[in-house]
Structure 1
């Protein structure tokens, strides 16, 4: 078992180590050094070229990714948490049907929705705009299902009934009582949303044509296609890929305590 875990760890970590070592190389160093060997330290030169290439378009990609993933993860997690809480704790007609439809949505791959979303965005004149990528990522059926599970486990019905008897409205109950109780679940959904949006590639590829609206994943991919003809793009692609990993690591490190407790709470109903 420990051997399998070591192999799984190496499988996950070695690509990151390769990014770190390769980001220090110039174009000529790729053919002169091995994969995991450090070359002359060109990292700062590569960073300077990365941020200066094409009039600093990489700055736009960083800004867009932070907006898409950061703002989208917070709003999306809040929407999913509210929906899951409503399905779990509010009595309204069609609740079971709504849960069944939500679970069905988990089974639909995101790539299958790209064309319908494009046609809808085209009808609304949102293609090649910020909203064409931002709005579809605010909902996540799996996040709603997780929130429903957390609400069942973490929010006692007696507390909600006591709040209603004291005259509190449903919105106030959710934001002041239920949401703090569901905070580990909220953070878990937020992390899932952040990673999914940050790594989202196909939807921006379909929706966007303006390079200044690209997220980092799509912009780096565009540069990687040019690297076959222009080798000087190779250090930029690798250095940009390394920078694209950093926010994910920071998010997990900062929120790991809440995330771990959320996973534990969500595993037991």
Structure 2
């Protein structure tokens, strides 16, 4: 499996040339999209969705051995800080694909895995539910259509006395998965995008959301709260990728 395109995105700096009213295309909710997304074989951009099913989680040692066999750019997925589990709320965690290990899932008592990727496999294991949001990290994908249904699903899991420990991941735990968690926080806690972003960044400093998804979240803020409270130039300045995946991983070597 090749991760190069996604890795390159994590090395790029965000476009900072936006105005407060520049939210790009207007998106809409699509009822039933989350259920449909579980069966999609291609993303809206034409990427083939990995439909491989795995029934066991790799151990941390197995992934570190795998890392040794990969080109360096691909191996960063299995490096800290991306594989770290970051607790965002009482029952909600963020990580990268390399963090989905047998040890992490058991230690954090995870009962639901939300994969915001098209590249990674389907997890089919007893006692753990699996949800996929098959999108690429290019910012042009319509993730907005998933915000309401997925936020409600996460709320059903972690709130309402269900207390189901849930982890959301993408490849690096920096962009796509963060977008989903931000949407959930904005809806469940009635937070502005700016406040939700600060909360997540405090608990996972390596986040760097694709600018296209920031714009979709800005539209969602207006949908939820009836007005735009977050200035795009401010949030994109906070979000700017000043450090690449390569540089971050080097700090932990």
Query: Would you say same fold, with TM above 0.5?
Result: no
TM, length-normalised to structure 1: 0.26
The structure with the largest helix share of the pair is 1
TM, length-normalised to structure 2: 0.27
Between Structure 1 and Structure 2, whose CA radius of gyration is higher? Answer: 1
